[in-house]
Amino acid sequence: MLLAGVPYIFLLCVAWGYFGAHVRELNTGEEVTVTEISGCAEGGAPMSGVIPYCSGEWRFDDGRTDRGSIEGDKAAEGDRIFAGDGFVYRSRSSLIWTMSVGGLFGVGLLAAAIALGVLYRLDTVRRRQKN
């Protein structure tokens, strides 16, 4: 019976880490200004998994700068993006969208795990009744 809870604990730990990181980014990130774009790469076919991005540099409101890949639509100098220490998103809403899709996927996994647990329990009861 104890082993039946292991998948749920695993899913809880994964969800905690996934959402914890994104919530930290939402709390610590800020709207910044793109100061330089050094090039953009087009994405592949929609199902290829290749996401278009631009390499660039941005400036925080306190004056410090950072650089990296800005995923999503083409970015241009002067655009506002959502960034922080070690992360960058095209906008705050794209981070929220990423969290929402991850949450829906997690709820689906949890529902599947619960359904499998219930079906296993019903099958065990049915087998005991036959004997």
pLDDT score of 48: 66
Closest Cα partner for 101 from 29, 45, 19?
19
pLDDT score of 18: 78
129 phi and psi, to 5 degrees?
Answer: -70, -30
Distance CA 100, CA 91 (A): 15
The contacts of residue 103 (CB under 8 Å, 6+ apart) are: 19
pLDDT score of 1: 54
Contact 72, 52 (CB under 8 A): yes
Mean pLDDT of 90-111: 84
Token pair recorded at residue 18: 């996934």
pLDDT score of 59: 92
pLDDT tens, position by position, 73-99: 788 888 899 998 888 888 888 888 888
Domain segments of the chain as ranges: 2-130
